[in-house]
Amino acid sequence: MPTALVTGATSGIGAAFARRLARDGYDLVLVARDAGRLQTATDELASTHGVRCEALPADLAETVPDGGCATVEQRLADGVDLLINNAGFTTHAPFDSGNREDEDRMLRVNIRAVVRLAHAALPSMLAAGSGGIINVSSVAGFFPTAGGATYAASKAYVTALSEGLAASYGDRGVAVTALCPGFTRTEFHQRAGIPTAGINDRLWLDADRLVDKGLADHRKKRPVSVPGWQYKALTEVGRLTPRPLMSAASRLVKARRGRH
């Protein structure tokens, strides 16, 4: 049985990955902070799909040498076939008056953990000449974003990192994909305290369908996956639009949505 490790597997997109991969017959290692919720998720998946499912509680923002990322790195060093770097979050506070530690935690989870876990997973994949890494990024990473600038910048990093790793290791049997969701119904916005009432219904994606499309693109060895016709169109328009115009559009969207 192949093994997949999924971070942020108790909710939203990570939970959808865990369900889909269990259905596909993967043994799973699931990572999140809430140990109780993690145990419930692993028990359910193991009993429903008959796969082996291990709970690995860890706070990926932690910097202690024997906890957080290090716990997950140790497990990855034993070898997995697929790594889903999914855990991530944003904040809602204005950049100038928000909590600096929150910004720093965001960078540790959204960037540092992604780099460290990919680094830990690669050696055994390269030795086997096969494996895959999906880094969950965001369409926000394609645009200059007024309000949520640190989050968007962190996702621009994740997409660029994934494209670089895909180019570096694709010919050695390891496929790397940045999965770039748009608005997806999960706990993400509620956790950050971001109001969603004004977001048009047509912009919302379903986490299970998003994951199906992301995995299909990954299996085709695509370095970047943008599910949903609306986001494909948006990113294509973004690619063709001069940057100053994009910044002006971003300011307008921010004013309408009231983000800082």
User: What are the catalytic residues?
Assistant: 151
Q: Do 228 and 212 form a contact (C-beta atoms < 8 A)?
A: no
Q: Do 102 and 93 form a contact (C-beta atoms < 8 A)?
A: yes
What is the C-alpha radius of gyration for the chain, rounded to an integer number of angstroms? 18
Exposed (0-12), middle (13-18) or buried (19+): which is 73, by Cβ within 10 Å?
A: middle
Smallest separation, CB 78 to ligand NAP (Å)? 19
Q: Which of the stretches 29-37, 117-125, 239-247, 249-257 binds ligand NAP when contact is defined by CB under 6 A?
A: 29-37
- C-alpha to C-alpha distance for 209 and 11, rounded to whole angstroms: 15
Q: Among 131, 181, 214, 227, which residue interacts with ligand NAP (rule: CB under 6 A)?
A: 181
- Does position 184 bind ligand NAP by CB under 6 A? yes
Considering the complex, state which of residue 172 and residue 209 has its C-beta at the smaller distance from ligand NAP: 209
Smallest separation, CB 68 to ligand NAP (Å)? 8
- Does position 117 bind ligand NAP by CB under 6 A? no
Q: Which two tokens stand for residue 129?
A: 């000449």
- C-alpha to C-alpha distance for 218 and 213, rounded to whole angstroms: 9
Q: Which of the stretches 59-67, 170-178, 225-233, 249-257 binds ligand NAP when contact is defined by CB under 6 A?
A: 59-67
- C-alpha to C-alpha distance for 229 and 209, rounded to whole angstroms: 13
Q: Which two tokens stand for residue 130?
A: 């096969």
Q: Which of the stretches 82-90, 92-100, 123-131, 233-241 binds ligand NAP when contact is defined by CB under 6 A?
A: 82-90
Helices (H), the chain: 12-23, 35-49, 69-77, 100-107, 113-128, 149-169, 188-192, 207-219, 229-240, 243-257
Site for ligand NAP in 120-149 (CB under 6 A): 136, 138
Considering the complex, state which of residue 1 and residue 100 has its C-beta at the smaller distance from ligand NAP: 100
Q: Among 33, 257, 259, 260, which residue interacts with ligand NAP (rule: CB under 6 A)?
A: 33
Q: Which of the stretches 164-172, 186-194, 223-231, 247-255 binds ligand NAP when contact is defined by CB under 6 A?
A: 186-194
> Which stretches of the chain bind ligand NAP, using CB under 6 A?
7-14, 31-34, 37, 58-61, 86-89, 109, 136, 138, 181, 183-184, 186-188, 191
